[in-house]
Amino acid sequence: MQKKIREMGQKINPELRWSSDTLECLHQAGEAYITRYFEDANSAALHAGRVTLNKKDMDYIRNMRMRHGIYPGSYTALDDRRLCQPPLTE
């Protein structure tokens, strides 16, 4: 994932540099977001009486998030304040 982040950053600004903490934070935030997305889609499938996740479940969650203003900007994994905290120094 770090390679992809660096690659995308280079397309925006070739002189862009990333700290390892920043890359780790982006990795954690992305992983938490995707995990939550699949959990929500799985809940939609279970609510429909299915155990198999379908594309329509993913589409439903995306549409609900867009409709309620929690996609893509206002809901992030960074809402969990435990993620991406600066390291404690003594």
Q: What is the pLDDT of residues 38-88, one digit of tens each?
A: 999 999 999 999 999 999 999 998 888 888 776 554 444 445 555 555 555
**Which residues make Cβ contacts (< 8 Å) with residue 72, sequence separation at least 6?**
65
Handedness of CA 79, 81, 86, 87 (dihedral sign): negative
Residue 60: count of CB within 10 angstroms of its CB: 17
The pTM of this model reads: 0.66
Q: Which CATH number fits domain 17-79: 1.10.443.10, 3.40.109.10, 1.10.20.10, 3.40.50.720?
A: 1.10.20.10
Residue 78 half-sphere exposure toward CB, CA atoms < 13 A: 11
Residues 8-22, mean pLDDT to the nearest whole number: 89
Res. 18 pLDDT band, cuts 50 70 90: confident
**pLDDT score for 89:** 57
